[in-house]
Structure 1
Amino acid sequence: MTAASARRVRRAVAGRGIRVTSVRRQGGGSRRGRVRTGDVAVLSRQLAALTRAGVPLLQALGIIADGTDKSALAALVRALRADVSAGDSVAAALGRHPEHFDDLFRNLVEAGERSGTLPAMLDRIATYQEKSENLRRKVRKALVYPAVVLCVAGAVSGILLVKVVPQFEQIFAGFGAELPASTQWVIALSEFVRDWWVTMVGAGLAAVLGVRAMRNRSRALRAVLDRLSLRLPVFGPLIERSSVARCTRTLSTTFAAGVPLVDALESVARAAGNGVFEAAVRRVRAEVATGRQLNTSMRAAGVFPDDVVGMVAVGEESGTLDDMLARSAGWYEQRVDDAVDAIASMIEPMIMAVLGVVVGGLIVAMYLPIFQLGAVIGGP
């Protein structure tokens, strides 16, 4: 059976009076069959273009389903088409797939349906998703690259200590002379790593997976980690700027779509990407609901930069809040780009220097006794 998710398969089969025991993805559950965020953005863009051109909604969904080479996306679009053809609104059809379409997406589509501007709203959604995904990708690149390089450096050093150093140790055993202190230290480190590497790797993996699992389950731990992430040297300002850009972009998109400000702030809180900003937005929402101005509430929250608060104040006074928020989002997205480039230009030479010191130090420590022996043999 072709469907967008295992849950829809169970529902469809159960409707025929058949008891379902298990559902498996054809092809062994390859990750290539997943519907990604970028796929949803492309779907929004294509659907907006077709409906703007006057193509009926059901026909547009059929064209998209037949035109994609991604089986999971095609199944998702066909499921949406079946629900809409059965009489559901587009927002209601999207609501049956919360794993692909979040509340923000559904609320914007619902606003577009109510106002008769669904094509324009889909276009706006696609722009928002593309910018959000681009921002997320850049931040991930800045954070992952140093970690990957350091892991590779650790792996290379481990191979040297486990495989190469023992060979030199056998050679040095026949020298009958005292080895330099650096060489003795490297040999001792090699013996320690050979005896305990399984324990160290297992403990490291357990620590990473344990913290990740606890973070997903514990609100308190997640809040602490999010707060600490904003205080990290180099990376803290990057995370803060990306959160500001995400909040302002989301609020601009939802408010411009006609979503009430209080409801829009709820969507902003869910899209903040950081617990500190999420809590701040919820405080702002509570104050705005009592009639307080948005810029005053944002200033009192204590996490939004003064320039953003100033732009919001100008937007509220002039009636151009969505435009001022969009300008702030664009400015902070550009600052994220600049920060990523700066981090890359700074981290790369630092990592190369660390690799040179670690790997070069190990090699020099191993060859130093050989150089000394050569000097003794070649001496007068």
Structure 2
Amino acid sequence: MSAQYEELALLIGGLSALLLGIVILAAAGRLPESDKPGRRRLRRQSSILGWGLLACGLLAIPFFGAVILIVAALVFVRLRRARQQALLWTLAVAAERSLPLTPVVEAFADERSGGARHDTLALARLLKSGVSLPDALAAVGGLAPDYALATLHVGQELGAMPQGLRQATAPAGLCQAVWQQLAGKLAYLCFLCVYALGIIIFLTVKIMPAFQKIFADFGAQLPAITRYAIAATFGEAWPLVALGYLLLLALTLYAILRYLDVISWELPLIACLARKLHAGRVLESLAMAVERDQPLVKALAAVARCYPRRSIRRRLQVTLVEVAAGADWIESFRSQGLISRADVAVLRAAQRAGNLAWAMREVAESHRRRLAYQVQAWIQVLFPVAIVCSGLMVLALVAGYFLPLAALIQKLV
């Protein structure tokens, strides 16, 4: 009965946290707009508190909470990306038609509500005060992807803001679809690991001691596989098992947070795979300078100053120093690992033919395609392996806890 009361109390507490979080979020959305830092800080802190209570309420309902939390996070990411694309498209059309951006942003804000409306109006106020568009987007945050800001900075330096905005709105295509598929599979593995760990803990704490006591009363010995399970759980191997689960949970949690853009740090293997993707974005930004017959150093300096990935910024800064000293930028890119030897041949041939900007964009698209195929290949190999390992673990658990029952029945007979 006490366990039932505890579950009921947990359910009531979770629902209460859900309702309180919804109320706080609704109240934060109705706070009046203000340029005062204290008022804006109060609104942001209220939103954080509301979302925190909402998350705690969902997690208090174990099964449905985890499912709802994952689905809600994915929906939030897609809505935010759609809103970012819509704003960039609106700004691109306005810039191409030489329209003032402030009224356009204010009109865009009128079609939004809640935090999105507040952030868009803050962007409009910054533009009205004379702040440049890339700096205003960076100051507000969340209204444009990080990689788009680097492109906009290059467009501003070159006087090609319409072209920079149009390039920032380019769809991610196959690469984005592959990353979404990867995030979905990792979320599934995370869900599987969390509940498998809960089941193992329950069996270890509740069922295994009962088996040991029953077999001790009958003077019988537990089956070998059950003894191995006990040794793995309570013996010297349990730190390794616990460490393996913690590492797997940490990796899946990292993947989800990285997909949600909560963190920007990349694991070494992922950073190595994604380096060519970042190099492609840099090449597309530099192509604007080539098309406008402007010095490449000017665009390279803008990208090296504001690109969101520190590792790429460091490589670009080395390249900038070498190019400023008279080195060939193509060879410098290759020495920094941003392009391959095949890319060097393509870019040199295009440079001689006079269509370098087109070749730079084609190389960038080739990088995206190769990355998408590599990630897809790793998914096809590693995901079945993970499923098979999970199945073997379930088989070991079933055998370890079923064989004692069979042995006990045989003993009684």
**So what's the TM-score if we normalise by structure 1?**
0.69
**How far is 1:306 from its partner?**
1.9
Question: Using the alignment, how far apart are the partners of 2:141 and 2:189 within structure 1?
Answer: 34
Contact kept, 8 Å, 1:65 with 1:77, in 2: the verdict is yes
- The residue type paired with residue 321 of structure 2 is A
Match of 1:82 among 104, 125, 148: 125
Deviations 1:30-72 (CA, angstroms, capped at 9, x unpaired): 5599995654333111222355567653332222111124x22
Would the alpha carbon gap of residues 191 and 269 (structure 1) be closer, same or farther in structure 2, given more than 3 Å must change?
Answer: same
2: CA distance, partners of 1:324 / 1:357: 50
> Does residue 328 of structure 1 match 2:374?
no
CA distance in 2, matches of 1:128, 1:262: 27
Q: CA offset at residue 244 of structure 1?
A: 0.6
| Farther-moved stretch of structure 1 (283-292 vs 302-311) | 302-311
| C-alpha RMSD of matched pairs (Å) | 4.5
Gaps of 5+ in 1: 213-224, 231-235
Partner SS, residue 178 of structure 1: coil
Per-residue Cα deviation, 1:333-374 (whole angstroms, up to 9, x for no partner) = 122222232222222221121112112112212222333444
Which secondary structure state, in structure 2, belongs to the residue aligned with residue 68 of structure 1? coil
Q: Which residues in structure 2 correspond to 1:1-380 (within 5 Å)? A: 12-13=35-36, 23-25=42-44, 27-29=46-48, 30=50, 39-50=83-94, 52=96, 56-69=100-113, 71-87=114-130, 89-91=132-134, 93-94=136-137, 96-97=139-140, 104-111=150-157, 114-115=159-160, 118-127=161-170, 149-191=192-234, 229-230=268-269, 239-256=271-288, 260-266=295-301, 267=303, 271=307, 273=309, 275=311, 277-302=312-337, 304-375=339-410
CA spacing shift, 1:254–1:185, aligned 2, 3 Å:
same
> Which AA in structure 2 matches 1:23?
L
**Amino acid of the structure 1 residue aligned with 2:278:** R
Check the 8 A contact 1:284/1:298 in 2, yes or no. Answer: yes
Q: Which moved more, 1:345-354 or 1:369-378?
A: 369-378
The aligned residue for residue 216 of structure 1 is none
Distance 1:247 1:63 in 2: 35
CA distance change for structure 1 residues 180 and 91 in 2, over 3 Å: closer, same or farther? closer
Q: Is the 8 A contact 1:252 1:326 kept in 2?
A: yes
The 8 Å contact of residues 245 and 328 in structure 1, kept in 2 or not, is answered as no
Contact 1:244 1:304 in 2 (8 A): yes
8 Å contact kept, 2:178–2:376 = no
Q: Is the 8 A contact 1:149 1:351 kept in 2?
A: no
Q: Matches of 2:140 and 2:412 in 1, distance apart?
A: 77
In the alignment, is the contact (CA less than 8 A) between 2:347 and 2:356 conserved in 1?
yes
For the 8 Å contact 1:284–1:297, the answer to whether it is kept is yes
Would the aligned equivalents of 2:297 and 2:324 in 1 still touch at CA under 8 Å? yes
- Segments of structure 2 that go 5 or more residues without pairing to the other structure are 1-26, 52-72, 255-264
Q: How many residues align?
A: 336
Aligned AA (1:47):
L
